[in-house]
């Protein structure tokens, strides 16, 4: 089934003149054909829809309080209420906005940084490459979360902008290294040599000739960066290093721990926000299984031994 | 030999860069510890210049130009004298760090090695039994568990195994009656208290090793020498372990040093939840108390430890893979 689809799309591509964005529909089809990434896409779509329509879906306001405190689950409050008398379900629904937005923005920004640095680093040779090599390796070995915690501590409650900035500063190095390796293998190919001989400037060769050949790796890097951004944001919020007045999954857990939800026995309050973080991160990881299969054909569903 | 020298060179260079970064970080940030302290005071009323001077003197704000400060800082690092902690006054920063250090090293070190060995073995199995339930089950549960936020796994384990079932202690590194000594009782008590933090790190980090080893192994299984070994009629297990897995383990090992940084970061969150008196818990307290000297020393300690671990893995890699030694 899949083989026939691939064959027809290959012949079509050979007959028609190449369309610039045809790869998007083709990769989407490949992702959809893999059951893991299909599941991931469905979960991700659910979270994005919940984030967009949060005001319609949530039964109460995000920080609307005045309900009974520390209440257990009831028909009025499906997931109970917090220690400040807020509805847990509404907080969860509004919290999805923060996680989805931070994951998307921080993931996108660190992918762009990784792309610019990784590609130029893979293309240039000599002393410049050694210098970048050193900087990237330095950023790779410095533990990310402690660095984030220290920067966040110095910046004192910078809020979401600070968190996104910190995540980007600490999170681009891995993507840059992967992209550099790929650029290095591509730079000696004939089409690059041809482009160089026809007098194209270096930046054009890198971003117009080499870049389009690694869209799947860049996409994989984006989903990976978004996953770690979501986890990092939740971690910083949980430690109370973000803006603890906003409603996000991390701050729900921060307040839950601070108000001793462990002792009052409100397990839903502890369970639900973390499960949401894990599911959102899982959806991106699952999508990446499909992306990996695009960039590495050996990982495609092969036969068992 | 050349390889080892290069690794030593890189190690020393990164060490210097990390030490310098630690020096620059607070100086690049807007505001200063003095400003933060004054902002706190200012909530209660206006702050005079004299108070400001007094705070600066108390916090030991460095004077002189940036080069003199840098030299002074390097001297501090070499002599391991980071001054006095603000929050745990009159204890010195070095004292605090050395008290917490063994707990984290033992916790993170042991668990990471266990997770690596276990994950690699499971990874070999999943790649070999590809597309059967023996592949799908560990791969899916592993990748699901690796998306669990550290602090969430920690909170859930603490709640269910600690508070509800009372199977494990809920905080600390040893019981209130135990006295730190080199006795068997104290040792088992420490292990008992480390069980939940260790389990948290294991659950969250195992999946990455499984997936990494599985992908590396699938790649080697596609290589010609594996097909050749199979064609020669070697036993399945021999091909899997002695041909494919032996070669697939190298890329997975490279990840070891890097993953360690992630686990150390995660242990900050885990230690905070369990009140486990390691480096991470101390870092959290330093941040909350705006204890900048302690924070700086801890960050340096964490970075240098991870650098050393990476260096050791690099050297080991050189021993295992003759190609790197050329």
In a domain, A65, yes or no: no
How much is the ipTM here? 0.82
Q: Name every residue whose Cβ is closer than 8 Å to that of residue A27 and which is 6 or more positions away in sequence.
A: A215, A216, A219, A294
Write the CATH number for A155.
Answer: 1.10.3720.10
Size of interface A-B (CB pairs under 8 A): 164
How sure is the predictor about A304, in pLDDT bands with cuts at 50, 70 and 90? very low
CATH number of B93-324: 1.10.3720.10
Residue B303 near residue B264, CB atoms below 8 Å: no
Distance CA B156, CA B139 (A): 22
Residue of A141, A145, A279 lying closest to B266 (CB–CB): A145
* CB atoms B156 and A154 under 8 Å: no
In a domain, A6, yes or no: no
pTM of the predicted structure, to 2 decimals: 0.83
Residue A69 near residue A83, CB atoms below 8 Å: yes
Query: Does residue A5 have a pLDDT over 70?
Result: no
Residue of B164, B280, B310 lying closest to A141 (CB–CB): B310
pLDDT in tens, B271-319: 988 888 889 899 988 888 877 788 888 998 888 888 888 888 888 888 8
The average confidence (pLDDT) of chain B is 83
Upper half-sphere CA count for residue B267 (Cβ side, 13 Å): 30
Distance CA B284, CA A146 (A): 9
When mean pLDDT is compared over A106-115, B158-167, B216-225, B230-239, the highest value belongs to: A106-115
How sure is the predictor about A305, in pLDDT bands with cuts at 50, 70 and 90? very low
Q: Which range marks the domain in which residue A37 is found?
A: 32-47+84-296
The average confidence (pLDDT) of chain A is 82
pLDDT in tens, A31-82: 888 888 899 999 999 999 999 998 888 777 777 777 777 777 777 777 777 7
Q: How many other CB atoms sit within 10 Å of the CB of residue B63?
A: 9
Upper half-sphere CA count for residue B264 (Cβ side, 13 Å): 31
Distance CA B71, CA B282 (A): 27
In a domain, A8, yes or no: no
User: Which of B265, B267, B286, B292 to probe by mutation at the A interface, max A CB count within 10 Å?
Assistant: B265
Query: Does residue B35 have a pLDDT over 80?
Result: no
Percent of chain A predicted with pLDDT > 70 = 89
* CB atoms A304 and B10 under 8 Å: no
Instruction: Please count the helices (runs of H) and the strands (runs of E) in chain B.
Output: 13, 0
CA distance, residue A2 to nearest chain B CA (Å) = 17
Residue of B144, B149, B159 lying closest to A267 (CB–CB): B159
Which of A236, A235, A222 minimizes the C-alpha distance to A285?
A: A222
Query: Does residue B5 have a pLDDT over 80?
Result: yes
Q: Which alpha helices (H) appear in chain A, and where do they start and end?
A: 2-15, 22-33, 35-52, 54-57, 88-123, 127-141, 144-155, 159-171, 173-186, 190-197, 202-204, 215-238, 249-258, 261-264, 267-295
Mean pLDDT score, B229-238: 86
How sure is the predictor about A161, in pLDDT bands with cuts at 50, 70 and 90? confident
| Higher local confidence (pLDDT), B160 or A265 | B160
B9 in A contact zone (CB under 8 Å): no
In a domain, A7, yes or no: no
In a domain, A116, yes or no: yes
The reported pLDDT for the residue numbered A106 is 93
How many Å separate Cα A46 from the centre of its chain?
16
When mean pLDDT is compared over A99-108, B75-84, B155-164, B242-251, the highest value belongs to: A99-108
In a domain, A75, yes or no: no
Which helix (H) or strand (E) element contains residue A302?
none
Domain count of the fold of chain A: 1
Residue A179 near residue A214, CB atoms below 8 Å: yes
- In chain B, the residue whose alpha carbon lies closest to the alpha carbon of A158 is B30
How sure is the predictor about B27, in pLDDT bands with cuts at 50, 70 and 90? confident
Chain B residues 98-137 with a CB less than 8 Å from chain A: 128-132, 135
Dihedral of the CA atoms B316, B319, B323, B326 (nearest 10)? 110
The reported pLDDT for the residue numbered A1 is 42
């Amino acid at each position: 089934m899949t083989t026939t689809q691939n064959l027809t799309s290959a012949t079509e591509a050979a007959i028609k003149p190449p369309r610039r964005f045809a790869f998007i529909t083709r990769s989407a089809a490949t992702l959809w054909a893999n059951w893991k990434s299909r599941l991931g896409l469905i979960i991700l779509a659910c979270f994005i829809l919940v984030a967009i329509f949060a005001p319609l879906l949530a039964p109460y306001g995000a920080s609307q309080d005045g309900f009974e405190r520390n209440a257990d689950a009831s028909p009025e409050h499906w997931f109970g209420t917090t220690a400040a008398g807020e509805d847990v379900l509404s907080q969860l629904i509004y919290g999805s906005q923060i996680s989805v937005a931070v994951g998307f923005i921080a993931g996108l920004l660190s992918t762009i940084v990784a792309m610019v640095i990784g590609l130029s680093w893979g293309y240039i040779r000599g002393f410049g490459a050694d210098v970048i090599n050193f900087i990237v390796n330095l950023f790779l070995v410095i533990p990310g979360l402690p660095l984030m915690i220290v920067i966040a501590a110095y910046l004192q409650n910078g809020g979401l902008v600070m968190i996104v900035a910190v995540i980007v500063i600490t999170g681009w190095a891995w993507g840059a290294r992967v992209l550099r390796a790929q650029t290095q293998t591509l730079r000696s190919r004939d089409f690059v040599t041809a482009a160089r001989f026809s007098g194209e400037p270096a930046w054009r060769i890198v971003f117009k000739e080499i870049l389009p050949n690694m869209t799947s790796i860049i996409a994989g890097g984006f989903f990976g960066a978004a996953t770690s951004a979501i986890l990092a944001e939740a971690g910083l919020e949980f430690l109370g290093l973000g803006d603890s007045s906003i409603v996000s999954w991390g701050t729900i857990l921060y307040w839950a721990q601070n108000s001793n939800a462990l002792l009052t026995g409100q397990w839903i309050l502890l369970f639900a926000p973390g499960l949401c973080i894990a599911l959102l991160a899982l959806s991106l990881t699952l999508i990446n299984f499909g992306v990996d299969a695009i960039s590495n054909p050996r990982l495609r569903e092969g036969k068992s031994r | 030999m050349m390889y080892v020298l290069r690794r030593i060179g890189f190690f020393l260079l990164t060490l210097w860069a990390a030490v310098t970064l630690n020096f620059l970080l607070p100086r690049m940030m807007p505001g200063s510890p003095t400003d933060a302290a004054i902002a706190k005071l200012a909530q209660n009323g206006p702050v005079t210049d004299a108070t400001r001077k007094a705070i600066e003197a108390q916090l030991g704000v460095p004077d002189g130009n940036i080069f003199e400060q840098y030299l002074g800082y390097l001297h501090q690092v070499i002599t391991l004298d980071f001054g006095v902690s603000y929050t745990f006054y009159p204890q010195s920063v070095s004292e605090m760090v050395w008290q917490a250090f063994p707990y984290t090293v033992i916790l993170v070190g042991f668990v990471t090695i266990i997770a690596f060995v276990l994950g690699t073995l499971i990874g070999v199995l999943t790649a070999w039994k590809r597309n059967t339930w023996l592949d799908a089950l560990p791969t899916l549960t592993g990748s699901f568990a690796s998306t669990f936020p550290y602090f969430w796994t920690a909170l859930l384990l603490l709640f269910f195994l600690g508070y509800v079932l009372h199977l494990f202690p809920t905080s600390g590194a040893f019981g209130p009656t135990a006295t730190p000594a080199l006795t068997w009782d104290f040792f088992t008590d420490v292990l008992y208290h480390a069980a939940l933090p260790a389990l948290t790190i294991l659950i969250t980090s195992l999946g990455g090793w499984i997936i990494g080893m599985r992908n590396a192994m699938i790649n080697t299984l596609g290589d010609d020498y594996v097909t050749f070994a199979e064609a020669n009629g070697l036993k399945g297990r021999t091909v899997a372990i002695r041909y494919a897995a032996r070669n697939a383990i190298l890329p997975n090992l490279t990840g070891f040093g890097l993953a360690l940084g992630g686990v150390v970061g995660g242990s900050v969150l885990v230690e905070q939840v369990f009140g486990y008196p390691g480096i991470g818990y101390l870092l959290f307290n330093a941040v909350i108390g705006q204890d900048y000297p302690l924070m700086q020393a801890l960050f340096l300690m964490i970075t240098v430890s991870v650098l050393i671990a990476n260096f050791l893995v690099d050297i080991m890699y050189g021993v295992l893979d003759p190609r790197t030694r050329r």
